[in-house]
Amino acid sequence: MPLNRPSRASPSVGRSPDRTPLSRAARLLDLIQALRRRRTPVTGAALAAELGVSLRTLYRDVEALRAQGADIEGEAGVGYVLASGFLLPPLMFRDEELEALALGSRWVTEHGDPTLADAARDLLAKIAAVLPADRRASLEESGLLVAKRRRPVTGVGLDLLRRALREERKLSLVYRDAEGRETMRLVWPIALGFFEETRMLAAWCETRAAFRHFRVDRMVEAVVEETRSPRRRRTLLAEWRRAERIAPRA
């Protein structure tokens, strides 16, 4: 009787009940991915339940990954976390992951600003260059398409807003409201949302002393200040999510 295989009668969470047991290599890859999705330690029992294996198998798989160079911190009974910096070679991508890359990059090419569009094309080219021929074909010939944007998004350049986000710098805005009134705002950028018809900047507004949302197409002018936001964007993002009742990412 084979040991340590997922039971068909008790499929793991998130896995189709009619899916055949995974090979060991695929199971190890799934374990790495499960750890990469988490920012805090997760117990072996939770990982075993997610992957549909016994706790004993989970412990063996953790040790196998460590032997292959994965920097997994923690121990049995405490929890595990994958240290940052561990990378998987692109040839390990599954079909669904390659489709996600192709679809996401095509969306950015059509809906992002020119700088992001060029970056998306370069990213696909770099990944394709190191893939085996069959994997490269799956990436380049994906049938998942993205519709072209119906109308251009006007307003200030998104590259400028992205720079303010990256560098955590204050942003001076001349903003026009729905009635056409213009106001000066000094804001701390938090996030940039890409919607179908518009782009929206979430920020802490010094003028209003509150979180506010600014449509990019109503920004008349924007200047990235030399002064950094007094609080880290990560902290502001968490507070904004709570204020807007947005569930944190898993």
pLDDT tens string 212-238 = 999 999 999 999 999 999 999 999 999
Mean pLDDT of 113-131: 86
Q: What 3-state DSSP class applies to 85?
A: coil
State if pTM tops 0.85: no
* pLDDT for 182 beyond 50: yes
Q: What 3-state DSSP class applies to 217?
A: helix
CATH architecture of structural domain 1-86 = Orthogonal Bundle (1.10)
131 with 196: CB under 8 angstroms? no
14/62: higher pLDDT: 62
pLDDT tens string 33-88 = 888 888 788 999 999 999 999 999 999 999 988 887 788 888 777 889 988 766 55
Q: Cα–Cα distances in Å, from 176 out to 18, 35, 152, 204?
A: 55, 45, 18, 17
CATH code of the region 158-243 = 2.30.30
pLDDT of res. 151: 66
| Residues in contact with 197: Cβ distance below 8 Å, sequence separation at least 6, in sequence order | 151
| Residues in contact with 49: Cβ distance below 8 Å, sequence separation at least 6, in sequence order | 12, 13
The CA distance from 229 to 170, in Å, is: 5
Domain spans of the chain? Answer: 1-86, 90-140, 158-243
